Structure 1
């Protein structure tokens, strides 16, 4: 089922000199890059649609963590890893393949690009590359990533139908899935982030309809700078909180920090919109 022989053939065929390329590609299915991509799209493009995909992403984290933990199938042996890895021990299904399928596929649906063959092909290539990079790096078997991508697509279609274009519903679903994820995984950091982000999203999404439109490229640049600073501060604060507080208090604090971080990300346009930033002529 996990296609171990095919996985070994892929690893052996991949030139070790290109490992850095595989590492770069795999990050496009990781939480950090996906968060940055979605945040920038939210700040600079159609905010309701981007917020919808953000809600899919945080809901998906809780779902895939519970699924992986309950199935409990291990990753490949460490002697085939091409990079150091200290994350969760479960390999089936692949979380990166799931996330890539969910987020990039979600962008196709939310931004109404699912009828565009070029957009569909590009999305498929990104999902395939992220998935194969996990096999190349030795962190998953080929079967893990195939199932991960398919489960991601299935989850996307289901949540897209349930949420029905309302980001707040997506974030509420994320909170519902986040609670069992925290309990089943014993407080996995990703589960805490997803739960906190979902709660923050529920609070902030009530203001989406009243956010000001982007007025200029200059304002867009300021928004990315302010929002990026907020993300950096949130990540730093989460690390500090995790190291200073006791094991009993740290999970609740991490959830609170991430709730505040998602509120800051989603409401940053309101704060920047109050600044006197004039329009920038597109021809300049």
Structure 2
């Protein structure tokens, strides 16, 4: 049964063939690579609102897991109504159009519509650039442009993009209410939501490359953010005793998130599915942590000291647990034992 209401013919009729590539480029405003790059740049370079940017990073990861799970739950196909036949385009534009306008997988709801809603409305709500009205107007224009392009390209029905926008708005409202309700920093809450969504996606869609990567990324981002918050607490502490509680709490959170990634990398082949997901998680943990260290002198000193003493402790533990060390210790023990006995009982 088709989900369409005859929306393709009137929309595609007003778009000339030469504009097909332009429509395909517009749809990239809602593609994963563009949204990830956009949010990542804001997180790295907008230091004054870094926690709000971290929330959007967490929402982005959660949204990607959510749309993947929903697509697998409904398993509805895409329409077969391309805007233009790729063979009719000039040969030099065909690879670009194929890379930007073609889509595979399930069609309901629209991932582009859902993700642009989460990212653009989330940024409009969280950031303080320009005025409140202009931010939301810009977000609305971006969402509308992406939704229109998905219908025009023939890769989604109207109901797909409407459902995507509706789910995105519902997710934002619920997520913001949860963050406001609980007394925990919003970055931690957002990344925790990403872990929950990633786990649900792993169960619903099966253990495939996408679901494993999303869960690994969520764990890595959560662990990295705990290190960021830990560094802030330690740097702001006036006395060592003030840093004990955050050191324990954030340390446990970070270890709980990063330990599965370390185990996956250590136990599985580097190119296996769990190891690839874990590597993505480690990369995202570094991505979350590095810009904070870069822009804070006190954080740099703290992390330098932490890395130094952690490395020294690891080397010392490795030395103590080495079989060579134990054999050398036993040999020295026997030698000193012989000397001690000869001293206590001298030969007559």
Q: d(CA) in 2 for partners of 1:52 and 1:66?
A: 21
Say if 1:255 and 1:78 are closer, same or farther in 2 by CA, change over 3 A: farther
Match in the other structure for 1:120: 136
Contact 1:61 1:190 survives alignment (8 Å): no
Say if 1:271 and 1:81 are closer, same or farther in 2 by CA, change over 3 A: farther
Contact 1:68 1:92 survives alignment (8 Å): yes
Which residue of 194, 197, 214 maps to 1:194?
214
Contact 1:101 1:153 survives alignment (8 Å): yes
- Number of equivalenced pairs: 244
| Superposed displacement of residue 80, structure 1 | 5.6
Q: d(CA) in 1 for partners of 2:157 and 2:146?
A: 13
Match in the other structure for 1:157: 173
Match in the other structure for 1:222: none
Match in the other structure for 1:39: 40
| Superposed displacement of residue 254, structure 1 | 2.3
- Tell me the TM-score normalized by structure 2: 0.63
| Superposed displacement of residue 273, structure 1 | 4.0
- Tell me the TM-score normalized by structure 1: 0.76
Contact 1:81 1:139 survives alignment (8 Å): no
Match in the other structure for 1:8: 9
Match in the other structure for 1:72: 75
Q: d(CA) in 1 for partners of 2:78 and 2:178?
A: 32
Contact 1:102 1:156 survives alignment (8 Å): yes
- SS of the residue corresponding to residue 14 of structure 1 reads coil
| Superposed displacement of residue 78, structure 1 | 6.3
| Superposed displacement of residue 40, structure 1 | 0.7
Contact 1:48 1:208 survives alignment (8 Å): no
- Which is greater in Rg? 2
Q: How does 1:127-206 map to 2 (within 5 A)?
A: 127-164=143-180, 166-206=186-226
Match in the other structure for 1:220: none
Match in the other structure for 1:251: 273
Gap runs ≥5 in structure 2? 86-96, 233-264, 298-348
Say if 1:147 and 1:264 are closer, same or farther in 2 by CA, change over 3 A: same
Match in the other structure for 2:283: 261
Match in the other structure for 2:237: none
Q: d(CA) in 2 for partners of 1:127 and 1:201?
A: 26
Contact 1:81 1:138 survives alignment (8 Å): no
Say if 1:208 and 1:110 are closer, same or farther in 2 by CA, change over 3 A: farther
Contact 1:65 1:181 survives alignment (8 Å): yes
Q: How does 1:49-60 map to 2 (within 5 A)?
A: 49-60=52-63
Match in the other structure for 1:20: 21
| Superposed displacement of residue 147, structure 1 | 1.4
Gap runs ≥5 in structure 1? 212-240, 276-284
Contact 1:28 1:34 survives alignment (8 Å): yes
Q: d(CA) in 2 for partners of 1:116 and 1:88?
A: 37
| Superposed displacement of residue 112, structure 1 | 5.3
Match in the other structure for 2:110: 94
Contact 1:27 1:33 survives alignment (8 Å): yes
Which has the larger displacement, 73-82 or 189-198? 73-82
Q: d(CA) in 2 for partners of 1:79 and 1:57?
A: 28
Contact 1:108 1:119 survives alignment (8 Å): yes
- SS of the residue corresponding to residue 5 of structure 1 reads coil
